[in-house]
């Protein structure tokens, strides 16, 4: 049912002040700036303060998105926080964001689809706006991955950073819909390639599991890499086909920022040159669910996208999950 169209009314982002550079990591594990930049494209990442939680970052990004939308928190009627690093197992992180924004009595939920979380949330949020069930929806994706990263494991600690990115969705007349197409998917056969083994109900925290570091992110990087490129290309192609848009018409591909080699391969296979693929991984590393909205906010605030231009977002991550969304700005 399509009672309304959907538009991104405003974007916002936030990155914590502290920066962890490749040179800093060289002093922590056996690695080199040369290895990290050539294999991943990452030069530095932001790290949250010890007392700064995921909800603090989501709230900052959310405030900026509201301001850009010309709204206040009182205008919201739903908050969704996609994250794999919630403040607590429960209550859900969106309730903390609600408290910090000071907006009473609206529904709030957190959700987890790892690095694809923002695009999962966009599909859900846009669908709810489209039916008329909710009007102004804040999606504030945030991650404090540093809290779940083993800084003695060079396979993972060079990759991840903290940050947040947010959008406010609002209804527009059905004929002016800006959400062209969306596709999300998952393949649970690959749950163990990228995960945090302990801390949930399957493996509750014990002293033994803590000693083994099972509460940290584990990744089979090479295997994930191989699956990422085709999944992202397939999802992106599916939404372009559904919308009847060719890749030449896309102004910006905003991919999940996990690795420049993955981004380059996806851009190439979609026939999009470097001038149409937005990459900011050098400054943030992989911020999981936050990476796409953080990049989108940069594109918007730099004035790089004009009204009517097509923006294609595509993600891939733990689950394994993936997603793609095409919007007309
Ligand atoms: O965001 C969710 C989705 N995640 C992804 O999409 C990530 C996908 N995977 C990747 O981006 C890449 O696989 C990594 C960046 C994680 C790793 O790059 P790679 O080219 O696949 O390297 P590798 O894991 O095959 O390791 C190559 C070598 C190994 O040494 P040997 O066995 O060849 O002697 C590693 O031990 O590089 C070594 N290595 C490192 N060396 C220096 C691994 N990490 C490091 C490091 N510094 N930080």
User: Does residue 169 contact residue 129 with C-beta atoms inside 8 Å?
Assistant: yes
- Which tokens go with 178? 């800006």
Find the helix packing angle between 117-131 and 291-301, rounded to 10°: 70
Beta-carbon contacts of residue 287 (< 8 Å; ≥ 6 apart) = 45, 143, 145, 160, 161, 162, 163, 165, 257, 294
Q: Tell me how far CA of residue 73 lies from CA of 104, 134, 135, 148, 281, in angstroms.
A: 9, 14, 13, 30, 30
Helices (H), the chain: 22-26, 33-40, 54-69, 93-101, 117-131, 154-157, 207-211, 221-243, 260-269, 281-284, 291-301
- Whether 154 lines ligand 1, by a CB cut-off of 6 Å, is yes
* CA 154 to ligand 1: nearest atom: 48
For a mutational test of ligand 1's pocket, the pick from 259, 264, 315, i.e. the residue with the most ligand atoms closer than 8 A to its C-beta, is 259
Q: Would you kindly state where each structural domain of the chain is located, as residue ranges?
A: 5-176, 179-328
pLDDT above 90 (res 261) = yes
- How many Å lie between the centroid of ligand 1 and the Cα of residue 244? 37
User: Does residue 3 contact residue 133 with C-beta atoms inside 8 Å?
Assistant: no
pLDDT above 90 (res 2) = no
Query: Which residue has tokens 């991984």?
Result: 281
Beta-carbon contacts of residue 184 (< 8 Å; ≥ 6 apart) = 113, 116, 119, 120, 123, 235, 321, 322, 323
Residue 324 pLDDT: 98
Nearest CA to ligand 1 atom 42: 31
Architecture of domain 5-176: 3-Layer(aba) Sandwich (3.40)
- How many Å lie between the centroid of ligand 1 and the Cα of residue 95? 37
Nearest CA to ligand 1 atom 10: 221
The string of pLDDT tens digits covering residues 35-89 is: 999 999 999 999 999 999 999 999 999 999 999 999 999 999 999 999 999 999 9
- Whether 259 lines ligand 1, by a CB cut-off of 6 Å, is yes
Residue among 213, 210, 212, 216 at smallest CA distance from 196: 216
The string of pLDDT tens digits covering residues 104-132 is: 899 999 999 999 999 999 999 999 999 99
Residue 198 pLDDT: 98
Q: What superfamily in CATH does domain 179-328 come from?
A: Thiolase/Chalcone synthase (3.40.47.10)
Do 5-176 and 179-328 share a fold?
yes
pLDDT above 80 (res 1) = no
- How many Å lie between the centroid of ligand 1 and the Cα of residue 221? 6
- Residue 92: is it exposed, middle or buried by C-beta count within 10 angstroms (0-12/13-18/19+)? buried
- Whether 225 lines ligand 1, by a CB cut-off of 6 Å, is yes
What's the whole-model pTM score? 0.97
- Whether 221 lines ligand 1, by a CB cut-off of 6 Å, is yes
- Whether 264 lines ligand 1, by a CB cut-off of 6 Å, is no
- How many Å lie between the centroid of ligand 1 and the Cα of residue 222? 6
The string of pLDDT tens digits covering residues 4-26 is: 999 999 999 999 999 999 999 99
Residues taking part in catalysis: 115, 256, 286
- How many Å lie between the centroid of ligand 1 and the Cα of residue 260? 13
pLDDT tier at 220, thresholds 50, 70, 90: very high
The string of pLDDT tens digits covering residues 271-306 is: 999 999 999 999 999 999 999 999 999 999 999 999
- Whether 53 lines ligand 1, by a CB cut-off of 6 Å, is no
Residue 328 pLDDT: 98
- Whether 280 lines ligand 1, by a CB cut-off of 6 Å, is no
- Per DSSP, 51 falls in state T
């Amino acid at each position: 049912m399509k009672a309304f169209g959907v538009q991104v009314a405003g974007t916002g982002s936030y990155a914590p002040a502290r920066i962890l550079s490749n040179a800093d990591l060289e002093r922590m594990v056996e690695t080199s700036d040369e290895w990290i930049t050539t294999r991943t494209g990452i030069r530095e990442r932001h790290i949250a303060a010890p007392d700064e939680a995921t909800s603090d970052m989501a709230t900052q990004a959310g405030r900026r998105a509201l301001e850009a939308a010309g709204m206040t928190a009182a205008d919201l009627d739903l908050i969704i926080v996609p994250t794999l690093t919630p403040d607590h197992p429960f209550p859900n992180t969106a309730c903390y964001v609600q408290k910090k924004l000071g907006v009473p009595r609206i529904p709030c939920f957190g959700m987890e689809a790892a690095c694809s979380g923002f695009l999962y949330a966009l599909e859900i949020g846009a669908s709810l706006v489209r039916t008329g069930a909710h009007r102004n929806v804040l999606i504030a994706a945030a991650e404090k991955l540093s809290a779940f990263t083993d800084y003695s494991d060079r396979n993972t600690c060079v990759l991840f950073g903290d940050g947040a990115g947010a959008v406010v969705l609002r209804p527009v007349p059905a004929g002016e819909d800006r959400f062209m197409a969306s596709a999300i998917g998952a393949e649970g056969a690959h749950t163990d390639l990228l995960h945090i083994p302990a801390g949930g109900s399957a493996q509750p925290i014990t002293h033994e599991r803590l000693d083994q570091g099972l509460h940290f992110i584990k990744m089979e990087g090479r295997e994930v890499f191989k699956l990422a490129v085709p999944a992202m290309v397939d999802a992106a192609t599916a939404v372009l086909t559904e919308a009847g848009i060719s890749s030449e018409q896309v102004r910006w591909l905003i991919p999940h920022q996990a690795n420049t080699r993955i981004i380059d391969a996806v851009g190439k296979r979609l026939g999009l040159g470097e001038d149409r693929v937005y990459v900011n991984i050098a400054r943030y590393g992989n911020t999981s669910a936050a990476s796409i909205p953080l990049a989108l906010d940069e594109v918007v605030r730099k004035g790089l996208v004009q009204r009517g231009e097509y923006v294609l977002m595509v993600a891939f991550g733990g689950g394994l999950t993936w997603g793609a969304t095409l919007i007309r700005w």
